[in-house]
Chains A and B, each alone.
Chain A
Amino acid sequence: MSKIKKYDAIVIGGGHNGLTAAAYLGRAGKKVLVLERRHVLGGAAVTEEVFPGFKFSVCSYVVSLMKSNVMRELMLPKFGLELLPLESTLTPLENDYLIRTADSDQTYREIARHSKKDAENYMRFGPAMGQIGMAVRPILETIAPNPIRPSISDISATKKILDHVKSLTSKQFEYLTKLMTMSSADFLDEWFEYEPLKATMSASGIIGTFMGPRSPGSAYVMLHHYMGDIDGAFRAWGFQRGGTGAVSMAIARSAEHFGVDIMTEASVEKVIVKNGRAVGVALENGDEYNSNIVISGLDPKLTFLKMLDEPDLPSDFVSAIKNFRIRGSSGKVNLALDALPNFTCLPGDGHHLRGAISISPSYDHLEKAYDDAKYGNFSESPFMDIILPSVLDPDMAPPGKHVMSCFVQYAPYDLNGGWNDQKREAFGDAVINTIARYAPNIKDIILHRQVLTPADLESTFGLTEGNIFHGELTLQQLFSLRPAVKWADYTTPIKNYFQCGSGTHPGGGITGSPGEMAAKKILGTW
């Protein structure tokens, strides 16, 4: 039971954005309660000891996009944020490999082994993207204005953005337009020729998205992931010591430091609305908590269609939320290993195991994987982004043993015939068989395996359709349209009810950004 009857604010969902919002409100002196349905905090950013001695970042597995001001303002390093660099990206091929490392000479030489032109262009590509990232950042850091009935602050925000756009060079503007609209494959084709390089780079355009690298729109998702490489620290992709859950725990401790109360195993049933105002929440166990405002860190479908009753909402808003595209497309396979995987292309232990391993030998590989999913099947030969957390942080597994995290695409939420145990295992087998093509010893070293389908992600983590971004990052679901026009500034049609999840601007990833911006918006109008 909670200590006090009435809070200033209640946050539904102890995911990293909910915790971030709570911490910011606490920091501003508000009395805040966070309610988490599960027994652990973190939502999709969670570490669990799935098998005795083996710890997994069950869902989200790398940290790249965490905003540096959030880390500073919430003092996260003090509360346990420790990001270890992921040093390289290895693309194993049947008879060869491609590896990109933090060292530019080494990367140049390695790419030049396959294509000299690509090696030269690669050296220009990173900085060019950095410039674009810089150009996009002010837009991402603006609370999305309402274009329908703009207020003075909406107009001034719009003007600021237009002025910013005017300050871009023609080249930046050209790239930006292309990144907003093109497919990642088409965009990369303008720069590079070596297929494994292009395919691996294009893969960041499909992660968490129901698109293939040749689908227009995927270039934006690639840009979204590229944001992680800027803000001063290039190669800011990192692995949190203790797993991604430790990021959430750091935010939670920061929140508690600011006086926030956090309750787990407290599943919210409904937001209590009186006279068009949110006044508190009702839990599934019947408890009720009152508060001045309620903030939801859940995805838009749950935030509105589950937590509220449809009649309380304007009908055009309800249809906008129903039309909000979520589309789960990815699964996760977590393996407890007896030893390290041995890649045929680079046998034995080495630097290459300290980074990401991308199963993306060609566009075709990715496109065929996408085709399977497009027509309702999981990919027979999926794309994977693999890391070995225990190599970076030995505490993740018992001595000498290892854990392996495989992010897998595609696994459509709407599988033909639906997901069941048998199909989950078949999906797991497809993953293992694909890895075995590059690391044949994998089958002999698996001690345990955990397979999570989009259906599992939904039922376990409350991610609608198992979509890791709380909604597709498509052009028509960004900025002032995320999650719906008029309500992209973290407010909702219900007074005193706010949203702060990844389904709001600027979208998914462990960024802390929606939580931070929502809190700032709320505090600005309090």
Chain B
Amino acid sequence: MSNYDVIVIGAGINGLATASILSKAGKRTLVLESRDTVGGMASSMEFTPGYKCNVFNDTIKWIDPRIEKLLDLKSKGLELEQPEILRIALGENKEHIAFHKENSKTVDSIAKFSESDAKKWKDFSSYISKLSHFLEKLYGLTPPGLPNAGIKEILGMRSMFGPIRKHGTRGIVDLLRVAPMMMPELVDEWFETELLRTSVASSGIHHLSFGPFAAGTGYNLLHQHVHANGVFHNAQFVKGGTEKFAIALKDCAESYGAEIQTSKKVQSIDTDEHGCIGVTLENGEQIIAKQIVSGLDPNNTFINLVGPSNLTPDFKTQLNNIRYRGSTARIHFALKSLPKIDGISKDQMKTVFSISSSIEYLERASDAVKYGRLADNPYVEFVLPTLFNSDFAPSGEHVLSATVQYAPYHLRDTEWSDQLKDQLKTNVIDTLEKVIPSFRSIVKETSIISPLDMEREFGITEGNLNHGEMTLDQFMFMRPTISCSQYKTPINNLYLCGPGTHPGGGLHGTNGFNAAREILKG
């Protein structure tokens, strides 16, 4: 038995980022990962012999610039690629809008539908960037302990003055106005083309259990655009697959002396009267450390590993009230050939596609969550990762990875089964065939990951990829609960660093960075 300064549970992006920073600062750090590979939600895998996919995320919206700078990930082999076309929104009747890296091309694409919308696009895009700029600063902070924040905490928020100086208090007011909005309210103020409206709205519902008519989707839209230079400027592909991001972080951590052990499942976080003392693994091994950092979600960390009887009743109630409600499924298709998308040329396909004809289409899909069933006509976003990584499939063949909303974790009168997954597959293929005629005929193999699979295989409570819904009541000082929003927890020496903390989900490592900062404060 050897002693460590810190044990990090979970080798996802945030766990690895925390481990890198802590070991760089001289802490003896051990990372324990239950799966046989690192990466967590940044994993890539061979889903069927010869075909690889990015399990959850094909793109990275942003990487915390502080991490890139501090850890110099480029030198560890991290290469990002932002495609020329950031996104193509597919509508009805072979219509589409292409959002380009170059704004003027986006404007041209929109102009085919509406001159007025085209004129407003740049303004809208910079308006959203401006508001996201406020979030950026906020995201770098540790949330203050409200309602009674100390002077020190208030001073700690002074980086917020930058954007205020730049945009005036008006910017804050706009942020406060847009964040609680529902998508139709936001787009009503700007656009008339339904395809444009729904493609903006689809960004607001990303990985949410709500539809576009839900207040607060404004905030989710802004969250998707932090560190982006405009609307949809948030699609970056990792060379070699998303897992390369995790591997770069792993190499980095190891280079600073961190130890990373895979296939080591933590069974409990051990506590005594004074706090946390170590962990016990599933194989019975006990490891002692001065500090434990959990990259798992709050439910796994506290309820499953610390155990309910070691939590105070109030804290336990708060934990039980965190809403997860995963409603997103992933489907990976192994394809015989490159699919032909209506109205899209072959050189336009290195992008993210979304299929939605109207905001109502999205809302109807979301109704399924309320009634605990699958969306008959789901919202589908897809990518062909083989266009970025030719080694993901045998030559000439391809992979299509789709993100599907809504496929709720909580079902009524039924449960997740192979049959239901088949139903989901059929619904998704039907949807894809609206834009890729006879898609069925090129499918060789399919791999479906339901929210329940995410929970069972990746340990994500209720299959929520954000470790807790990205809603305003679970934002900042409320994330994951009001009593542990500063990465510290009510249990001494136990810290959180996962997406369940401020500022929430995504493969950006901000949570890990902020957590490491708090841990090093001591």
Q: Do A and B touch directly, given a CB cutoff of 8 Å in the complex? A: yes
Instruction: List chain A positions with a Cβ less than 8 A from chain B.
Output: 147-148, 150, 165-170, 172-174, 177-178, 180-182, 186, 190, 211, 214-217, 319, 323, 325, 363-364, 367, 371, 374-375, 474-476, 480-481, 485
A190 in complex: contacting residue of B213, B321, B363, B364, CB < 8 Å:
B321
Establish whether residues A181 and B180, one from each chain, have CB atoms under 8 Å apart when the complex forms. Answer: yes
CB distance from A319 to the nearest CB of B (A): 8
Instruction: List chain B positions with a Cβ less than 8 A from chain A.
Output: 146-149, 168-170, 172-173, 176-181, 185, 188-189, 210, 213-216, 317-318, 321, 323, 360, 363-364, 367, 370-371, 471-473, 475, 477-478, 482-483
| Among all A-B residue pairs, the 9 with the closest Cβ atoms | A217-B215, A475-B180, A181-B472, A173-B147, A181-B473, A476-B177, A216-B215, A174-B482, A182-B473
Complex interface: chain A residues within 8 A of B478 (CB) = 174, 177-178
Complex Cα gap A240–B172 (Å): 43
Complex interface: chain B residues within 8 A of A475 (CB) = 180, 215, 472
- Mind listing 8 A-B residue pairs with CB under 8 Å? A148-B169, A178-B478, A181-B472, A181-B475, A323-B185, A323-B189, A374-B363, A474-B215
Complex interface: chain A residues within 8 A of B363 (CB) = 374
Complex Cα gap A169–B149 (Å): 12
Complex interface: chain A residues within 8 A of B483 (CB) = 170
Complex interface: chain A residues within 8 A of B178 (CB) = 476
Complex Cα gap A429–B184 (Å): 31
Establish whether residues A215 and B214, one from each chain, have CB atoms under 8 Å apart when the complex forms. Answer: yes
Complex interface: chain B residues within 8 A of A216 (CB) = 210, 214-216, 471-473
Complex interface: chain B residues within 8 A of A147 (CB) = 169, 172-173
Complex interface: chain A residues within 8 A of B181 (CB) = 474, 476
Complex Cα gap A169–B323 (Å): 23
CB distance from A508 to the nearest CB of B (A): 17
Query: Quick one: given A186-B323, A216-B215, A374-B363, are A476 and B176 in contact (CB under 8 Å)?
Result: yes
Number of A-B contacts (CB under 8 A): 98
Complex interface: chain B residues within 8 A of A217 (CB) = 180, 215-216
Which of B172, B180, B181 has most chain A Cβ within 10 Å?
B180
Complex Cα gap A475–B215 (Å): 9
Complex interface: chain B residues within 8 A of A186 (CB) = 323, 473
Complex interface: chain B residues within 8 A of A485 (CB) = 170, 173, 177
Complex interface: chain B residues within 8 A of A180 (CB) = 472-473
Establish whether residues B367 and A323, one from each chain, have CB atoms under 8 Å apart when the complex forms. Answer: no
* 9 further contact pairs, Cβ within 8 A, besides A167-B147, A474-B180: A147-B173, A165-B147, A177-B478, A190-B317, A190-B321, A214-B370, A215-B214, A364-B370, A374-B363
Complex interface: chain A residues within 8 A of B148 (CB) = 166, 170
Complex interface: chain A residues within 8 A of B173 (CB) = 147-148, 480-481, 485
CB distance from B434 to the nearest CB of A (A): 20
Complex interface: chain B residues within 8 A of A211 (CB) = 215
Complex interface: chain B residues within 8 A of A481 (CB) = 173, 176-177
Which of A165, A173, A217, A476 has most chain B Cβ within 10 Å?
A476
CB distance from B19 to the nearest CB of A (A): 32
CB distance from B325 to the nearest CB of A (A): 10
Complex Cα gap A166–B216 (Å): 25
Complex Cα gap A474–B149 (Å): 27
Complex Cα gap A178–B477 (Å): 12
Complex Cα gap A190–B472 (Å): 16
Establish whether residues B473 and A178, one from each chain, have CB atoms under 8 Å apart when the complex forms. Answer: yes
Which of A169, A319, A375, A475 has most chain B Cβ within 10 Å?
A475
CB distance from A469 to the nearest CB of B (A): 15
Which of A167, A178, A216 has most chain B Cβ within 10 Å?
A216
Complex Cα gap A172–B148 (Å): 12
Complex interface: chain A residues within 8 A of B149 (CB) = 166
CB distance from A60 to the nearest CB of B (A): 25
Query: Quick one: given A177-B473, A217-B180, A375-B360, are A364 and B371 in contact (CB under 8 Å)?
Result: yes
CB distance from B143 to the nearest CB of A (A): 12
Complex Cα gap A224–B360 (Å): 29
Complex Cα gap A216–B180 (Å): 9
Complex Cα gap A253–B379 (Å): 58
Complex interface: chain A residues within 8 A of B482 (CB) = 170, 173-174, 177
Establish whether residues A325 and B180, one from each chain, have CB atoms under 8 Å apart when the complex forms. Answer: no
Establish whether residues B170 and A148, one from each chain, have CB atoms under 8 Å apart when the complex forms. Answer: yes
CB distance from A329 to the nearest CB of B (A): 13
Complex interface: chain A residues within 8 A of B318 (CB) = 174
Q: For residue B325, which residue of chain A has the nearest CB?
A: A186
Complex interface: chain B residues within 8 A of A174 (CB) = 318, 478, 482
Q: For residue B372, which residue of chain A has the nearest CB?
A: A364
Establish whether residues B472 and A374, one from each chain, have CB atoms under 8 Å apart when the complex forms. Answer: no
Complex interface: chain A residues within 8 A of B471 (CB) = 181-182, 216
CB distance from A361 to the nearest CB of B (A): 16
Which of A165, A177, A371 has most chain B Cβ within 10 Å?
A177
B188 in complex: contacting residue of A173, A178, A323, A476, CB < 8 Å:
A323
CB distance from B70 to the nearest CB of A (A): 33
Establish whether residues A170 and B147, one from each chain, have CB atoms under 8 Å apart when the complex forms. Answer: yes
Complex interface: chain B residues within 8 A of A169 (CB) = 147
Complex Cα gap A158–B177 (Å): 18
Complex Cα gap A168–B145 (Å): 13
Complex Cα gap A424–B168 (Å): 49
Which of B172, B185, B215, B478 has most chain A Cβ within 10 Å?
B215
Complex interface: chain B residues within 8 A of A168 (CB) = 147
Query: Quick one: given A173-B482, A190-B321, A216-B215, are A371 and B367 in contact (CB under 8 Å)?
Result: yes
Complex interface: chain B residues within 8 A of A181 (CB) = 180, 215-216, 471-473, 475
Complex interface: chain B residues within 8 A of A323 (CB) = 185, 188-189
CB distance from B462 to the nearest CB of A (A): 14
Q: For residue B210, which residue of chain A has the nearest CB?
A: A216
Q: For residue B363, which residue of chain A has the nearest CB?
A: A374
CB distance from A170 to the nearest CB of B (A): 6
Complex Cα gap A370–B182 (Å): 16
CB distance from B327 to the nearest CB of A (A): 13
Complex Cα gap A217–B179 (Å): 12
Complex interface: chain A residues within 8 A of B146 (CB) = 170, 173
Complex Cα gap A168–B371 (Å): 37
Complex interface: chain B residues within 8 A of A325 (CB) = 185
Complex Cα gap A178–B481 (Å): 11
Complex Cα gap A214–B216 (Å): 13
CB distance from B375 to the nearest CB of A (A): 14
Which of A168, A169, A485 has most chain B Cβ within 10 Å?
A485
CB distance from A418 to the nearest CB of B (A): 18
Complex Cα gap A181–B147 (Å): 16
Q: For residue A376, which residue of chain B has the nearest CB?
A: B360
Establish whether residues A215 and B213, one from each chain, have CB atoms under 8 Å apart when the complex forms. Answer: yes
Complex interface: chain A residues within 8 A of B473 (CB) = 177-178, 180-182, 186, 216
Complex Cα gap A474–B176 (Å): 12
CB distance from B170 to the nearest CB of A (A): 6
Complex Cα gap A481–B174 (Å): 10
CB distance from B517 to the nearest CB of A (A): 24
Complex Cα gap A522–B445 (Å): 72
Establish whether residues B170 and A166, one from each chain, have CB atoms under 8 Å apart when the complex forms. Answer: no
Complex Cα gap A418–B473 (Å): 37
Complex Cα gap A169–B314 (Å): 14
Q: For residue B318, which residue of chain A has the nearest CB?
A: A174
CB distance from B361 to the nearest CB of A (A): 11
Complex Cα gap A476–B189 (Å): 14
Complex interface: chain B residues within 8 A of A178 (CB) = 473, 478
Complex Cα gap A481–B170 (Å): 12
Complex interface: chain A residues within 8 A of B185 (CB) = 323, 325, 476
Complex Cα gap A371–B363 (Å): 10
Complex interface: chain A residues within 8 A of B364 (CB) = 375
Q: For residue B478, which residue of chain A has the nearest CB?
A: A177
CB distance from A345 to the nearest CB of B (A): 25
Complex Cα gap A394–B478 (Å): 51
Query: Quick one: given A323-B189, A325-B185, are A476 and B170 in contact (CB under 8 Å)?
Result: no
